[in-house]
Structure 1
Amino acid sequence: MRFGLACTAFVVGGGLAAGCGSASPPGPTARTTTEAAAHPAQPASPGRLRTATCTDLPGFRCSTLRVPLHRRGPAIGDGRRLTLAVAVQRVARAPKGDLVFLSGGPGQPGRPFGPRMVARLGDALRGYRLVVLDQRGTGAQALRCPPLQREVGTSDLAVPSRAATVDCARRLGSARDAYATADTVADLDALRGALGDHRWTLAGVSYGVLVAERYALAHPDRTRGLVLDSVVPQEGVELLERVPLRATARVLRTVCADERDRCPGDPARDLQAVLHRHPDLGPPLFDALTALSIGVPRLDPVPALLHRARAGDLAPLRTLIRTVRGQESAPAELFSAGLHAATLCADGPAPWPGGPAAPAAARTAALTRSRAALRRRDTAPFPPSTALDQGLLQTCRWWPPTAAPPPPPRGPIRAPALLLAGDHDLSTPLEWPRAQAARMANARLVIVPGAGHSVLLRARDPRGRSALRTFLRDLR
């Protein structure tokens, strides 16, 4: 997940016709979950793919799919539409059907990665036709919130100002409640109908994993199989981020096991000692370490820097934090911070009752209780203050009350699934795929040593791609 942090890879959904910064009306009056339930989700209806120009994607045929902006709530039927950009691989035959890849974020487009995926995955795709698309609110029609984009860029964990967060929600106006994962799942099923598929295979990375899981739960009879790379649990990621915080000790010690000469001490103990004296470093350091685990991991220098910081020399560690933070920037069409906030604040299990519909006072009261209740063991080697002050939680704390989406379907996912994980990944740590695989009916988990976030496209070790080749070949 993790959800953002410039996850490289896969796919889902389209663009916003009246995006962030449009002449949308002021933000909607907050509705309760009960009121939202009175306006159930609109079933996806098969659409029609319209041909589009696509000279930038060799080997693909491009098209668009029109879908409703509002699929649930009182605005259903208001006539507002989104146009999803879709690209379908040109192949002579695809006896195993369509394979749809779902990108990370939320906020990252998927369509531009089509040719790269074909080149990287090679003969693993034999017999399939690759389909990629831009998720609603991404790509050319990305939600645009300039202040928030400047402040957080591609990060899940950078802490935005309250003003930038509220400004983004104001720009979205009445469309603020139209970007939950449930809406993207409905878009996907409309695409399946437009392609004429009875069943298909879904693959995703990071946030794309959550979309694939939710689709398989909602439409088990339409899901042939799942490829889940850098796994998010099917219930979503809690806003407190306790599992990734605790996973930091394991990951840093794994780095030391791989590179003993770089580790003058125990990096987890060094980190805990540094943050005991400098708790304000917790959120930016958590952000930096997570970013360094994306793609090909770059965590090797960290243990030595933590050891120096424990001895009193904080300057190199602060330099690392500033350097990494400076790299977490991108234009909205490559990663939409506005969509990222709208989706995560709709879907993320929150520490306050009522989820996204909760009023500000209820959120503040719940965080006060959490600050008193959290224990060091809940977040160690980070202090509990890091969980409460990091950017994912703070963004959703200030995001204005918004109608909650319908709860996801429950129960185990029954479709055959391949789960891929890197043991150096802090964005979607190994603890998540292990727990997710254990609750699935037919899952195989492959752990790639030394890999970080985004195994298929970024890991140097070929074991993940080899497992994919076998899984897709044997899938019935």
Structure 2
Amino acid sequence: MVAVRFRRRAVTGLVALAAAGALTAGAAPAAVPGGAPPTAPQRAGHLTGQAPCPGQESFTCATLAVPLDHSGRTHGTLALSVAMTGNTRAPKGDLIFLAGGPGQPGVPLMTRIAGIMAPALGQYRMIMIDQRGTGAGALQCPQLQKEMGSSDLTPPTPQAVKDCAAAIGPDRRYFSTADTVGDLDLLRQALGARRITLDGVSYGTFVAERYALAHPDRVNRLVLDSVVPQQGDQLPDLTTLTATARVLRAACAATGCGTDPARDLAQVVRTYHNGPAVLDMITTYEFVDPDYKGVPEALHLAAAGRPQTLQGYIDGTHEGSAATAEQLSQGLHASTLCADYRYPWGTSDTPVDGRAAVLDRVERKLNPARTWPFDAATATRNGFILSCLDWPREPVPAAPPRHQKLPRVPVLLLGGDRDVSTPMEWLRQEAKMAPLGQVVIVPGAAHSVQSRATSDAGRQAVYDFLLRG
């Protein structure tokens, strides 16, 4: 940690959040109940071993067996942990709450999320699942985990990426969102439900959208909190970069900081060429304080040639983002992103040789106005991109048609106007794909409105939406 006058409260808050695993989807996972991964039952698509959840005895835990490869061409079975409330005959059926990441488990969050959702649980049975590659079955990549922690944006070293892919082996191709969608449909069948309601946070919204696109007749309604667009698959995406100016200026106006943080940020990036680190700090800091108090002052000092305070924020964020694979698996994170997304070089089915040259060309051609207040290197040299630059070549699943809309079911799109991780511009983009969509933006809220917003407006909107009709 750099020896600067970094605010102790902020460091403590970041470290505490990371220790709780709350820097991902906003809810704090405890240690994974049960310790070791469950043994997979022989038959896929069945819930077995139902018993009170260890450490969360008011809920029932079980194991869902799913095929490693839903096509059946490769043999193998995975065991996924599932937690459920007890009201099996709930009038409105089953509500599956999806955690974020990708890489965050669901079962350890059950107590907290059930508490948040309590006003709706008289009408719904709530279920949470450890998606494949998370929790007790987390994909383990020690060096990549050490370098990235719970961050999406920290640039990893090429060797950590290569070692991670080698450690997971050829099975890494079976950890895409499409595979998780297949798992969810087996969970629906195992629950005995004809239709399900999905509530997703952050990456969980992407899973919910992709499920609805794949199985439109099996969804009752969707809650999408901190929205990742269903077609947000072309990187680099510049929305978060440009949204940062809006968010920082709004926070500054609310707190009376007296500077222009966006202009200062642009000067900082031009001077110190530290765009990915600053963006990582800002997107993490929203979990500590959606007013970003202290950040505009640190940017102003750095723009004037005194970067020590800002560097303290950057170092504190990195320290506070430490996380185990059980809290957020970077191995799963990379496996999923590399399978799902399109990059400047194409997909992960593109030969590795030549990818770097394509990325260099794209960076050189980026219009500075499209990345402001950041630079082109921030867009192309962050963790999202570099986690897959050296990822081995492998087949990727087919994506839904780009213009396919969500089914005609009620959809609540929920976000905060201070969210940089999943900015409200993304929410507006996805709203165009929801024929029966309802948009709720909570002023002053950042990422994960249901579990982290100070205001109850977003949570009440969810309750009203779920209990309507």
| Same fold by TM-score greater than 0.5 | yes
Q: Does 1:218 align with 2:207?
A: no
CA-CA distance at 1:291 after TM superposition: 0.6
Per-residue CA shift, 1:423-454, capped at 9, x if unaligned? 11111011000111122100011111111111
CA-CA distance at 1:61 after TM superposition: 1.1
Q: Of residues 260, 280, 290 in structure 2, which corresponds to 1:297?
A: 290
Deviates more, 1:51-60 or 1:428-437: 51-60
Give 1:70's aligned residue. 69
> Map of 1:426-465 to 2, 5 A cutoff?
426-465=420-459
Partner amino acid for 1:452?
A
Q: Of residues 353, 358, 365 in structure 2, which corresponds to 1:366?
A: 358
CA-CA distance at 1:93 after TM superposition: 3.9
Q: SS of 1:58's equivalent?
A: strand
Partner amino acid for 2:362?
S
Q: SS of 2:45's equivalent?
A: coil
Q: Does 1:234 align with 2:230?
A: yes
Paired positions, count: 436
Give 2:415's aligned residue. 421
CA-CA distance at 1:5 after TM superposition: 4.8
Cα distance in structure 1, aligned partners of 2:435 and 2:363:
37
**Given the superposition, is the C-alpha separation of residues 384 and 96 from structure 1 closer, same or farther in structure 2, using an over 3 Å criterion?**
same
The answer (yes or no) to whether the contact 1:8–1:103 under 8 Å persists in 2 is no
> Map of 1:155-166 to 2, 5 A cutoff?
155-166=151-162
Q: Of residues 201, 205, 218 in structure 2, which corresponds to 1:205?
A: 201
Q: SS of 2:193's equivalent?
A: coil
> Map of 1:304-315 to 2, 5 A cutoff?
304-315=297-308
CA-CA distance at 1:392 after TM superposition: 1.1
Give 2:113's aligned residue. 117
Per-residue CA shift, 1:202-253, capped at 9, x if unaligned? 0100000000000000111000000000000001344323110111000001
Deviates more, 1:200-209 or 1:91-100: 91-100
> Map of 1:263-342 to 2, 5 A cutoff?
263-279=257-273, 281-294=274-287, 296-297=289-290, 299-342=292-335
Cα distance in structure 1, aligned partners of 2:437 and 2:58:
32
Q: SS of 2:56's equivalent?
A: coil
Give 1:33's aligned residue. none
Cα distance in structure 2, aligned partners of 1:439 and 1:133:
26
CA-CA distance at 1:46 after TM superposition: 7.2
User: Please, what is the CA RMSD of the aligned residues?
Assistant: 2.1
Cα distance in structure 2, aligned partners of 1:10 and 1:49:
26
Cα distance in structure 1, aligned partners of 2:215 and 2:27:
24
Give 1:50's aligned residue. 48
Cα distance in structure 2, aligned partners of 1:250 and 1:239:
21
Q: SS of 1:154's equivalent?
A: coil
CA-CA distance at 1:87 after TM superposition: 1.0
CA-CA distance at 1:368 after TM superposition: 2.1
Cα distance in structure 2, aligned partners of 1:439 and 1:220:
13
Cα distance in structure 1, aligned partners of 2:355 and 2:286:
31
> Map of 1:6-25 to 2, 5 A cutoff?
6-9=24-27
Q: SS of 1:444's equivalent?
A: strand
Cα distance in structure 2, aligned partners of 1:359 and 1:267:
41
Partner amino acid for 1:62?
C
Structure 1's unaligned 5+ residue stretches are 20-44
Q: SS of 1:325's equivalent?
A: helix
The answer (yes or no) to whether the contact 2:418–2:444 under 8 Å persists in 1 is yes
The answer (yes or no) to whether the contact 1:236–1:349 under 8 Å persists in 2 is no
Per-residue CA shift, 1:358-381, capped at 9, x if unaligned? 112231232122022101111110
Q: SS of 1:445's equivalent?
A: strand
Q: SS of 1:356's equivalent?
A: coil
CA-CA distance at 1:92 after TM superposition: 6.5
Deviates more, 1:213-222 or 1:228-237: 228-237
**Given the superposition, is the C-alpha separation of residues 298 and 175 from structure 1 closer, same or farther in structure 2, using an over 3 Å criterion?**
farther
Cα distance in structure 2, aligned partners of 1:102 and 1:349:
23
Q: SS of 1:371's equivalent?
A: helix
Partner amino acid for 1:305?
A
Partner amino acid for 1:335?
L
Give 1:27's aligned residue. none
Structure 2's unaligned 5+ residue stretches are 1-21, 38-42
Identity of aligned residues (%): 47
